[in-house]
């Protein structure tokens, strides 16, 4: 029993809690409910659980926390809710109140509080993992390794891309200027995120090259850290979230725009103000910071306003059929739907095909897929069938987390499509 819990964070979103009229429309859209058919999986059920908590009828127990965690924060419930009740807000807040009352459990307390905020330590641990992979594990196809033995909590036999031998921050300079003869139109900060830094550095190099060729000076501050999503959204560890928010704000204070190639990072950086601001000073600083943050496709279309001719096909994608997967954080959290499609459709030499349910969650959702890999796989399998129905050669997205999920699920389902980041389509 946790008698001292105060529910301060939940109370900030009481409006959303009361908004729900229990109609049950969310049951048609919730990817977790559609697999489990259990009321506690869906927004309505979670809302009732949290109301029960506030009323004193329910207590935070291990089972309560587990049921609360069974949510990908995809926001499909909110997007299709007639009352526009934002239950994911309350779920995140409830996770935070749980942490206030019970703390963060081992080993996640070490990961969130000691490793994530220390970029060098984080990098060294990832490097050790990379070395361990290289020594002990056989290569599978391409750059994918099968991690059945290693990092069993994370791996669980899934196909995970190889950790890069060199991280992006070790490869690129802090300041990257446009080449000779190209006028500098603006200066942006590049938020690389952990995945691009540690797993897909060639994507980061390509983005810097593309932006500089198009007149953008790209600054990659070494001081930047993790966006904090696994800690504050996934685990409700708002203290760690604040530490990372303060670090990132300081790292990017000299730029007018911050671009990110990861939908989850972009959304999380913008969410600092909503969830983590605990003082008027932080509220103002977090809000100001959030306004500077742009998804890469949104930046190219809405800020840089590149002409269609700027989008040329990379040699390996010419003549291919391409489909697009909407990351939840992009399409529903940020409302970005048209920009990536506009970019893909502008590329000559590739054929765009829309997949059915392109905006359905892929089931990754960070730590959700670590805790509930079997459930995550079932959600992903539906996405794979959508991709299969298009006959596409390539599925693109703009979230390295979704990409990892799509790589794993297409290999498992023997679907021979290539998974790419949208920027990799471009020359």
User: What is the contact surface with ligand SF4 in residues (CB under 6 A)?
Assistant: 20-26, 29-32, 42-44, 46, 71-77, 81, 83, 85, 87-88
Query: Closest distance between ligand SF4 and the C-beta of residue 8, in Å?
Result: 22
Query: Closest distance between ligand SF4 and the C-beta of residue 360, in Å?
Result: 10
Task: Residue 115: name the closest of 188, 179, 194, 60 by CA.
Answer: 194
Query: Closest distance between ligand SF4 and the C-beta of residue 18, in Å?
Result: 10
Please, which residue, 22 or 139, has the CB nearer to ligand SF4?
Answer: 22
Please, which residue, 292 or 333, has the CB nearer to ligand SF4?
Answer: 333
Please, which residue, 300 or 402, has the CB nearer to ligand SF4?
Answer: 402
Please, which residue, 200 or 372, has the CB nearer to ligand SF4?
Answer: 372
Please, which residue, 85 or 93, has the CB nearer to ligand SF4?
Answer: 85
Query: Closest distance between ligand SF4 and the C-beta of residue 328, in Å?
Result: 8
Please, which residue, 258 or 361, has the CB nearer to ligand SF4?
Answer: 361
Query: Closest distance between ligand SF4 and the C-beta of residue 181, in Å?
Result: 48
* End-to-end C-alpha distance for the chain, whole angstroms: 58
Please, which residue, 31 or 201, has the CB nearer to ligand SF4?
Answer: 31
Please, which residue, 293 or 328, has the CB nearer to ligand SF4?
Answer: 328
């Amino acid at each position: 029993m946790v008698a001292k819990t105060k529910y301060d964070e939940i109370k900030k979103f009481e409006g959303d809690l009361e908004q729900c009229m229990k109609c049950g429309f969310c049951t048609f859209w919730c990817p977790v409910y559609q697999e489990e058919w259990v009321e506690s999986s869906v927004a309505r059920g979670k809302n009732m659980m949290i109301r029960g908590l506030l009323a004193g009828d329910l207590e935070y127990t291990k089972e309560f926390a587990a049921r609360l965690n069974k949510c990908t924060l995809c926001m499909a419930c909110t997007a299709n809710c007639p009352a526009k009740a934002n239950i994911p807000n309350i779920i995140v807040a409830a996770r935070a109140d749980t942490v206030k009352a019970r703390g963060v459990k081992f080993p996640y307390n070490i990961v969130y509080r000691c490793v994530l905020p220390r970029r060098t330590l984080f990098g060294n641990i990832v490097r050790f993992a990379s070395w361990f992979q290289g020594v002990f594990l056989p290569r599978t196809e391409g750059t994918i390794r099968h991690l059945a033995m290693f990092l069993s909590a994370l791996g669980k036999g899934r196909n995970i891309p190889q950790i890069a031998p060199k991280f992006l921050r070790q490869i690129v300079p802090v300041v990257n200027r446009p080449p000779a003869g190209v006028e500098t139109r603006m200066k942006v900060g590049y938020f690389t995120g952990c995945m691009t830094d540690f797993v897909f550095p060639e994507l980061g190099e390509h983005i810097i090259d593309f932006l500089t060729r198009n007149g953008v000076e790209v600054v990659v501050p070494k001081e930047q850290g993790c966006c904090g999503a696994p800690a504050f959204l996934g685990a409700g560890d708002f203290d760690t979230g604040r530490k990372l928010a303060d670090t990132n704000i300081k790292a990017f204070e000299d730029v007018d725009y911050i671009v990110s190639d990861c939908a989850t990072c972009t959304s999380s950086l913008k969410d600092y103000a909503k969830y983590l601001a605990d003082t008027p000073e932080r509220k103002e600083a977090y809000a100001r910071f959030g306004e500077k943050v742009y998804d890469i496709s949104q930046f190219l279309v809405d800020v840089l306003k590149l002409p269609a001719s700027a989008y040329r096909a990379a040699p390996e994608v010419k003549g291919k059929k391409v489909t697009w997967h909407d990351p939840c954080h992009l399409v529903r959290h940020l409302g970005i739907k048209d920009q990536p499609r506009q970019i893909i459709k502008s590329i000559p030499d590739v054929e765009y095909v829309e997949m059915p349910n392109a905006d359905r969650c892929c089931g990754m959702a960070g730590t959700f897929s670590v805790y509930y890999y079997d459930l995550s796989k079932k959600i992903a399998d539906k996405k794979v069938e959508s991709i299969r129905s298009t006959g596409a050669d390539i599925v693109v997205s703009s979230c390295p987390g979704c990409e990892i999920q799509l790589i794993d699920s297409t290999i498992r389902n023997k679907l021979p499509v290539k998974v790419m980041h949208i920027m990799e389509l471009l020359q």
